[in-house]
Amino acid sequence: MPQFQEYDAIIVGAGATGAVFAHELTKAGMDVLCIEKGQHFTNHKEDFYENELETFRLTWDYSDYEITGDAFDAGPNLGAHVGGGTLAWTATALRMFERDFRFRSTWGQPAGTNTADWPVSKRMLQRYYNKAEAQMGVAGELTSWDEPGTRPPVNPPMPFYPSSKALQRGFDRLGLRSAPGRVATNSRPYDGRSECLNCGFCRAGCRVDAKYQADEVLIKPALETGRLHLETESVVTHVETARWGGWAKGVHYVNLNSGVETYAKGRYVILCNNPFEIPRLLLSSTSRFHPYGIGNYFDQVGRNFYSHATCLGMGVTGETLNSYVGHSMCNIMSLDTSYNRERNDYVGGFSLLSLHGAGAGSLAAFPLKHLNGDDLRQSMARYNNSMVLIAFIEGMPVYSNRITVNRNKTDDLGMPLPHIHYEWHQNDLNAFEHAKEKIRDVMEAGGSEDVFTSGIFESHPMGTMRMGHNPLTSATDRYGRVHGVPNLFVAGGCLFPTGSSVNPTLTMHALALRSAEKIAWQWRFRERFVQ
């Protein structure tokens, strides 16, 4: 018989969005349980190491996933511990454009895609963007791409590195606007945390917390309230419902070390455990009232999966650029290409962001993938003479790209294995070709003698629990509530109907702040008027 506990809210996953809910709900006075599969690194100076391979220790393991299609390569895209992806992220913190929330109205619905407008607007998210940037300590400045009324970031921009100046030269010669990137990395001491030391190992975990890491900034103060109960190295295996399936009652979870199963009851259940594991958990939580999984009456759970199609380029120069120095991504950026005005064979666009720091392994894995032996060693030896640029391309949601479960195969905890099916859409491929050409053009204009570009690969998994007004075409409402189960919330990139061409984390954070505010308001109303 499992043990029993009761809370105001239960959060599954203590990553980028789970930490937001933990912080905001405990601040509101709620008693919260947060369940995390990974570890809690409480001493970053001792727990993290300046080693590029450390990224893999901090990111999600897909080894038991079944994968079909040509687009998913199971790269280190998602977090795996308390703090989640913010431990290993590159800290790029960009706001989406107003048009990104109205993709279908702007671009239509290309054949074979399932594009949609968001049920929320940029205007509705502005104050949550402001709060998210303040919590993260975003550095940057107002740019020509910002809409009127946008507040400047709370910290000044990071100075340009030598390779960023070379890229700026390339942008200028092509007539592309550029600006310092927006990054959640301290350009000066902020909120009791250090400024960036430019060590270059952002993706191995920041030992001085100059980079925003949710465990330090949000989980730590939530624990200090005494109202957050954090269970680590534990996995939720089932969400239980009541009231004929219309109410989330609680969760069953298992401690991976002891094997002890616990049942926890909560007034609210909030799933923040990544775009693959959320649909997996809901599809696994079958019952008499949910024979196909919770919220899946209209077969929307797990649908419309997509990512940022990605291209990585390396341009070798005759200059010493010390590319190994600095925060990992977005020291300089150009967003002029985020709205396609040049070609008629694709819709959407792509961002162009610089890369620095300890990213040599990524070069060997992507743009230099075709090289071996001495050729690879010689090219890698020129890393510090190189500029590096990455393009994130707005991927297309496709109805048949989805997450399902194999009910005939289970893991050690008895959960069905997840199955990912992901194929590139022609729009993704056409946009990728344009991005690859543009990277080459910028680097050659900036002074590169040799340019190497990668093949297409995926970044930032999104979709699978799409927000929308209609349960026939979406899995959740505009607050991330699962249709038909009003106290069951979902958070993260899985909510995005479309993905923009900018990194998703800041928008995930803003959406989580908005939903947490909704939950706290409902809880206060109940406490005051119901009991």
Could you read off the pLDDT of 150-195 as tens digits, one per residue?
Answer: 999 999 999 999 999 999 999 999 999 999 999 999 999 999 999 9
Mean pLDDT value across residues 110-125: 96
Mean pLDDT value across residues 314-336: 94
Residue appearing with tokens 């994130």: 392
Distance between CA 115 and CA 202 in Å, rounded? 34
How many residues would you count in the chain? 531
Give the pLDDT band of residue 359 (cuts 50, 70, 90). low
Cβ distance 348 to 501 under 8 Å? yes
Q: For position 531, what pLDDT does the model report? A: 43
Beta-strand relationship, 32-35 and 228-231: parallel
Cβ distance 401 to 69 under 8 Å? yes
Take residue 292 and report the two structure tokens written for it. Answer: 């196909």
Could you read off the pLDDT of 78-107 as tens digits, one per residue?
Answer: 999 999 999 999 999 999 999 999 999 999
Mean pLDDT value across residues 99-118: 96
Which residues of 189-232 form beta strands (DSSP E)? 228-231
pLDDT for residue 48 is more than 80: yes
Q: What is the DSSP string of 315-342?
A: EE-SS---TTSS-SEEEEEE-GGGS--S
What is the percent of the chain where pLDDT is above 90?
A: 88
What is the percent of the chain where pLDDT is above 70?
A: 97
Distance between CA 498 and CA 512 in Å, rounded? 17
Give the pLDDT band of residue 375 (cuts 50, 70, 90). confident
Helices marked H in 225-299 — which ranges?
A: 277-284
Q: What is the DSSP string of 116-164?
A: ---SS-HHHHHHHHHHHHHHHT-B----TTSPTTPPPPSBPPPPPPHHH
What does the DSSP 8-state code read for residue 214?
H
Q: For position 492, what pLDDT does the model report? A: 97
Which residues make Cβ contacts (< 8 Å) with residue 58, sequence separation at least 6? 79, 80, 81, 87, 88, 203, 204, 205
Q: For position 374, what pLDDT does the model report? A: 82
Could you read off the pLDDT of 459-514 as tens digits, one per residue?
Answer: 999 999 999 999 999 999 999 999 999 999 999 999 999 999 999 999 999 999 99
Q: For position 2, what pLDDT does the model report? A: 47
**Order of strands across the sheet with 66-68?**
66-68, 416-421, 402-410
Name which of 460, 471, 468, 459 is nearest 497 in CA terms. Answer: 468
Mean pLDDT value across residues 353-380: 77
300: enclosing H helix or E strand? none
12: enclosing H helix or E strand? strand 3-12
Beta-strand relationship, 350-355 and 386-393: antiparallel
Mean pLDDT value across residues 349-361: 87
Could you read off the pLDDT of 207-235 as tens digits, one per residue?
Answer: 999 999 999 999 999 999 999 999 999 99
Q: For position 282, what pLDDT does the model report? A: 98
**Any idea of the CA torsion for 51, 55, 57, 58, to the nearest 10 degrees?**
130
Written as one letter, the residue type at 133 is E
Written as one letter, the residue type at 272 is C
What does the DSSP 8-state code read for residue 184?
S
Q: For position 378, what pLDDT does the model report? A: 79
Q: For position 26, what pLDDT does the model report? A: 98
Measure CA of the first residue to CA of the last residue in the chain; give whole Å.
30
Integer Rg of the chain from CA: 22
Distance between CA 164 and CA 333 in Å, rounded? 9
Beta-strand relationship, 179-180 and 329-334: antiparallel
**Any idea of the CA torsion for 476, 269, 129, 276, to the nearest 10 degrees?**
-60
Distance between CA 26 and CA 345 in Å, rounded? 49
Cβ distance 403 to 279 under 8 Å? yes
Q: For position 527, what pLDDT does the model report? A: 61
What does the DSSP 8-state code read for residue 526?
H
Q: For position 366, what pLDDT does the model report? A: 66
Take residue 404 and report the two structure tokens written for it. Answer: 């399902």
Distance between CA 269 and CA 20 in Å, rounded? 14
What does the DSSP 8-state code read for residue 168?
H
Distance between CA 187 and CA 389 in Å, rounded? 21
Distance between CA 7 and CA 512 in Å, rounded? 20
Cβ distance 403 to 305 under 8 Å? yes
Distance between CA 230 and CA 214 in Å, rounded? 14
Q: For position 1, what pLDDT does the model report? A: 38
Report pTM. Answer: 0.96
Could you read off the pLDDT of 56-82 as tens digits, one per residue?
Answer: 999 999 999 999 999 999 888 899 999
Separation of CA 164 from chain center:
25
